[in-house]
Amino acid sequence: MTPDDPRPARARRVVLGVGGGIAAYKAVSLLRLFSEDGWAVDVVPTASALRFVGAPTWAALSGNRVETDVFENVHEVPHVRLGQGADLVLVAPCTADLLAKAAHGLADDLLTNTLLTARCPVVLAPAMHTEMWQHPATVANVATLRARGVTVIEPASGRLTGKDSGPGRLPEPQDIHAAAMSVVDAAAPLTPVDTGAGPAARDAVPGAAAPSGDLHGLRVVVSAGGTREALDPVRFLGNRSSGKQGVALAETAAARGASVTLVAAHVEVPLPEQDGIEVVRVESALDLQAAMTVLADSADVVVMAAAVADFRPVDYVETKIKKSHRTAADGTEDDSAPTLQLVRNPDILAGLVRERGSRRRPLIVGFAAETGDTGHSVLELGREKVARKGCDLLVVNEVGRSVTFGQDDNTVTVLDRDGGEPVPLGPASKTVVSHGIWDVVAARGDRSWTGAGEARLPD
């Protein structure tokens, strides 16, 4: 509300979805945390959640009616109203069943309908037994949701229902609240709260760096675009990279609070002008190497999304190479095509890994542009590459003339040098894929990255 605007500021609304698990009682504390912050809370439990905490408790604590079924109060069309009017949808605890339904777009009760109609940030806090969390079906569902821009919080490790323990516990309400607030803050410049419409926050191009977010405090360096290796003043060897994925990575990192340096080779999209992103222009692989070596030294995360020329001409000719030229030997006109002599460029990514030595910082992310070949799949070549280059994460990208290069959408798989399940992302916009990559980076980095506040990597 401004001094000239007599309208009261609208309270922000959170739909607090509660799944059917023993941890449902912890959602009561979450409700309190949001209410104390001035949020209006609509609690939407599933039918099985009500077996753990009853509707009267939720209604009394939230001051709002509590429904689970789309057929209650049909005249108000609650399955559409709740999702459309929310500034945040948070599901805690989120069961394996709810994760599966959300991933597949099923809508058989009020909560799952709300998940489909929401256009605001969606945060899911899973809680389940370790075996269920680690089951390939759940792993795939989580990856699908993350690729779509949904934030899935990592469960905590510890004692579970019964005698067993391991990853699968619902994190403490304060931690879930802090993580959800950082997602809301990161999305704030992207979602005009008064319309409730428009694209999903994470698919929008960020307008400004978020003052906080899960990458707040991190110094991120992203290279983007294709290098150009000059032959003469008018000609170069280049490649088909448009730089869209690298630019989207820089924009999304800034939107999540990181301070970003974008090292841009040749790109075919406008360079970002938002706060929180500094742009350094380079042309050749050697320029890029010089910039990256200096910047990596003080970075927390380095992403080599640039398409670097593996070879450059041995000689740069100062004047334009003419079609016909006089031979040095006898001065006669020579119309033959010149032969290009090439030399290997340095492998910048491998060099950054070498320079880092045994330090943990920076976390290094490479990209692998692969077309596959007769004997090897794209993923097999990616695995070989991550081992060869030694980077922490490798984003494997299938490329071809009309696959990936210049396209708005992308499909990638993120491989971790230290093993673990590959994380598939997309097909989705390069912005959404970028968010998925940052989710993997945040999970790979120090645990404090996923909470609010200053995130730093130890040396």
Supply the minimum distance, in Å, between the C-beta of residue 349 and ligand CTP.
Answer: 3
Residue 435, both tokens: 């968010």
Q: How far from chain centre, in Å, is Cα 334?
A: 55
Supply the minimum distance, in Å, between the C-beta of residue 369 and ligand CTP.
Answer: 4
Find the part of the chain contacting ligand CTP (CB under 6 A) among 46-54, 172-180, 363-371, 445-453: 363-371
d(CA 16, CA 63): 13
- Judged by beta carbon, residue 124 or residue 249, the one nearer ligand CTP is 249
Q: Does 380 bind ligand CTP (CB under 6 A)?
A: no
Q: Does 291 bind ligand CTP (CB under 6 A)?
A: no
Supply the minimum distance, in Å, between the C-beta of residue 285 and ligand CTP.
Answer: 6
d(CA 379, CA 398): 9
- Answer yes or no: 239 catalytic: yes
Amino acid letter, 397 = N
Q: Does 103 bind ligand CTP (CB under 6 A)?
A: no
331: helix, strand or coil: coil
Q: Does 287 bind ligand CTP (CB under 6 A)?
A: no
Residue 47 and residue 20 in contact, taking contact as beta carbons nearer than 8 Å: yes
Find the part of the chain contacting ligand CTP (CB under 6 A) among 163-171, 203-211, 325-333, 344-352: 344-352
Q: Does 31 bind ligand CTP (CB under 6 A)?
A: no
Q: Is 379 exposed, middle or buried (0-12, 13-18, 19+ CB in 10 A)?
A: middle
Q: What residues from 111 to 170 belong to the interface with ligand CTP (CB under 6 A)?
A: none
Q: Does 367 bind ligand CTP (CB under 6 A)?
A: yes
Q: What residues from 50 to 79 belong to the interface with ligand CTP (CB under 6 A)?
A: none
- What binding mask, one character per residue, do residues 304-333 give for ligand CTP by CB under 6 A, x or -? x-x-x-x-----------------------
Q: Does 369 bind ligand CTP (CB under 6 A)?
A: yes
- Judged by beta carbon, residue 153 or residue 224, the one nearer ligand CTP is 224
- Judged by beta carbon, residue 310 or residue 421, the one nearer ligand CTP is 310
Q: Give, to the nearest 10 degrees, the angle between helix 430-444 and helix 136-147.
A: 130
DSSP E strands: which ranges in 132-185? Answer: 151-152, 156-159, 165-169
239: helix, strand or coil: coil
Q: Which residue has the tokens 């939720």?
A: 58
Could you tell me which residues are beta bridge partners of residue 276?
A: none
Which CA distances in Å does 269 have to 42, 225, 246, 370, 417?
Answer: 41, 10, 10, 23, 31
**Strand pairing class (235-237; 259-264):** unpaired
Active-site residue, selected from the candidate residues 239, 345, 397, 410: 239
Could you tell me which residues are beta bridge partners of residue 307?
A: 226
Q: Does 396 bind ligand CTP (CB under 6 A)?
A: no
261: helix, strand or coil: strand
Site residue total, ligand CTP (CB under 6 A): 13
Q: Is 380 exposed, middle or buried (0-12, 13-18, 19+ CB in 10 A)?
A: middle
- Judged by beta carbon, residue 133 or residue 367, the one nearer ligand CTP is 367
- Judged by beta carbon, residue 395 or residue 432, the one nearer ligand CTP is 395
Q: Does 368 bind ligand CTP (CB under 6 A)?
A: yes
24: helix, strand or coil: helix
Map 424-438 to HEC letters.
Answer: EEEEEEHHHHHHHHH
Q: Does 405 bind ligand CTP (CB under 6 A)?
A: no
Could you tell me which residues are beta bridge partners of residue 369?
A: 397
Supply the minimum distance, in Å, between the C-beta of residue 365 and ligand CTP.
Answer: 8
Of 151, 345, 410, 413, the residue at the interface with ligand CTP (CB under 6 A) is 345
- Judged by beta carbon, residue 147 or residue 265, the one nearer ligand CTP is 265
Tell me which residues touch ligand CTP (CB under 6 A).
Answer: 285, 304, 306, 308, 310, 345, 347-349, 366-369
Residues designated as active site:
239
